[in-house]
Amino acid sequence: MLSSPVRRGTPVLAFCLGLVAGGTVTASVLLVAGSLVRAPLPQAARCAIAVAALAAMLLQERGLLRLRLPENRRLVPESVFRLGRHLGPLAFGVEMGTGARTYLPSALPYAAAAAVLLLASAPAALGAGAGFGLGRALMTTSSLRYGAEGGWDEEWLRRSGRLGSLLAFGFAASLAAIIVAAVR
């Protein structure tokens, strides 16, 4: 899909804006749903569940756990590009940014969703959603700047195991920061 018009000119910006918008939409939904979950649970229990969710997702990433996670197993349809030079990439970005409209090849977004559901204030949820979109946009923008067509993806695939571990560690560190900041 990214060999499409998204790769050229200002549509990249529209695509990235769409990613951020999509991320904040999902985070807002989680925030509202979370208000039902957060109310009856004490903070310690919510922190413990968020950590347990991360542990389960890390086991899933390692293939030690085989949970059937909700995932829309399809590509964003090419038809979105019929919306125009900018609206098409924007719509494509929103769909990808939600994380709910196409494949999710990592379990970390599920752990992030659990953290938002259980622990986030409104600004924190929007920050996490925007961050998710920015993280996805980083893939696109860095791939464009990396050079040869497909080179970035090859590097990613060649090191996917180690990169996954590194990012899982980064995720755990950020969740630790969130929990420590919340309990003090």
Partner 1 sequence: MAALSSAEVGRRPWHPATLAGTLTAGALAAAVAAASPAEPAWLGLGPWLLMGAVSGFATSGST
Q: Which residues in this chain contact partner 1 in the complex, by CB under 8 A?
A: 1-2, 19, 23, 27, 75, 96, 99, 102-106, 108-109, 111-112, 115, 120, 123-125, 127-139, 142-143, 145-147, 152-153, 155-157, 159-160, 162-164, 166-171, 173-178, 180-181, 184
CB of 17 vs partner 1, minimal distance in Å: 14
Specify the residue, 13 or 124, whose C-beta has the smaller distance to partner 1.
Answer: 124
3-class secondary-structure state, position 1:
coil
Select 40 or 54, whichever has its Cβ closest to partner 1: 54
Minimum CB separation of residue 12 from partner 1 in Å reads 14
3-state SS assignment for residue 113: helix
Cβ closer to partner 1: 85 or 152?
Answer: 152
Distance CA 59, CA 42 (A): 26
**DSSP codes joined into one string, 73-112:** -SPPPGGGGGG-TTHHHHHHHHHHHHSSSS----SHHHHH
- Name the residue nearer to partner 1 (CB basis): 40 or 129: 129
Query: Considering only CA atoms, which of 79, 94, 102, 69 is closest in space to residue 16?
Result: 94
Q: How far is the CB of 42 from partner 1 (least distance, A)?
A: 20
Shortest Å distance, C-beta 144 to partner 1: 8
Contact at 8 Å (CB) between 18 and 87? no
Provide the CA 168 distance to its chain's centre, in angstroms. 13
Structure tokens that stand for 65 in this block? 């756990």
Nearest approach in angstroms of CB 23 to partner 1 is 7
Q: Which is nearer to partner 1, 40 or 77 (CB)?
A: 77
- CB–CB of 6/12 below 8 Å? yes
